[in-house]
Amino acid sequence: MIYPAQGLLAGEFLCGLWASACDALAIPADQTVRSIRVLRSVLPAWAGERIGPAPAEPSYVADDGFPAELSVNWSGTRPELRLLFDCGLASRDSPWHARSGAVAANRRLGRIHEVFTPQVGRSPAPLWHSVAWRPPSRPVHKTYFGLYAWPLPQRYAAVSEAMRRLRMTAAWNDARRRVEGTAGRREIEFFAVDLADEADARVKIYYRNHGADIGEVNRVASVARHHDAERASAAYRTLTGGRTDAGEAALNCLAFRSGLDGAAECATYLRLAGLASCDREAVDRTAELLRREGVDPGRFRGLATALAPGPLHDSRDLLALVSYRAAGRPGDVTTYFRPPVYDRSVPRPSSPADLAARDRNDDSA
């Protein structure tokens, strides 16, 4: 079951999804209009192209190759609505963030952008961007660099250099040592920065786990200074339906903040698309987690119904991911929706990483 999106401009389709989400979340219409104006100003060139029967250039954002996903964080008094989208490859000559009229040149991003551009013997990193909006506040922006196509030594070299430029070397060394002391197979997949100069702006490093159970992802999350392992374990079990395995390629995202000597927090992402039989089951489990976290799940259920291309019991993979962060803030759950635009999945990018034989201490470029 897919959306009837063929023939629509990609940007119009995404703005329509955003508007539907705003309506489901009861956001005032005037605020919705202003947020869509911001969204239009930062969407890449492909937003002006019409959606065909298959992706011309499949993206890694969604399993069907569509280059965007919608998500909502449920902490606080108002949900935060987000749109993540693919911007192509990082470039030295015309970095996307500098071309965008809505994202001012950011000092933190400016210090590290070059690290992820083409180097001798290395391709540029895929560049993703996210607009996050918790009304009535102003939207905030985030940038992600994909490292999944690089050999492991190149990933670690780039991350180490970026953390050095951001004056976070001690925190990174501590986190890396502790992660690598945790049994299991995993690889760094993304490096991300919040585009803000405020003290609470984060730098994030994403690990993709292979064959992990919920105990393993919880031990990786416990590398963070602020992590409640008991609460996290209960949350994971709710999302997996009582299963002990974490499903396919669960993610741990370690967040770093200025002035700290280690990772501050960790969000763990579970792929509900592989852990539940349909979107109805995935929505029910997530609603139960929200209820246990003190969040009324009614708006979440309404949002899922509004975004689904049909009945939830006939739908699968719309609610693709759910993340949970146990760092002292109740309801820190984020739900990730990937609208089914195409009728088949595309092959995922293959990783050159040899996880069994890697040399974890090799930081050579």
101 has a pLDDT exceeding 50: no
Residues 323-346: what's their mean pLDDT? 92
Of the listed ranges 59-63, 98-102, 182-186, 198-202, the least confidently predicted one is 98-102
| Model pLDDT for residues 218-260, shown as the tens digit of each residue | 999 999 999 999 999 999 999 999 999 999 999 999 999 999 9
- Per the prediction, the chain carries an average pLDDT of 91
Q: Would you state the pLDDT for residue 109?
A: 86
Residue 146 has pLDDT above 70, yes or no: yes
Q: What's the pLDDT band for 2 if we cut at 50, 70, 90?
A: confident
Name which of 192, 261, 184 is nearest 224 in CA terms. 261
Predicted local confidence at residue 344, as pLDDT: 79
User: What is the C-alpha to C-alpha distance for residues 168 and 203, in angstroms, rounded to an integer?
Assistant: 9
The DSSP code for 213 is: B
Contact 218, 268 (CB under 8 A): yes
Residue 101 neighbours by CB under 8 Å, 6+ apart: 41
Q: Residue 327 has what DSSP assignment?
A: S
3-state SS, residue 14: helix
Would you state the pLDDT for residue 351?
66
Residue 361: per-residue pLDDT: 43
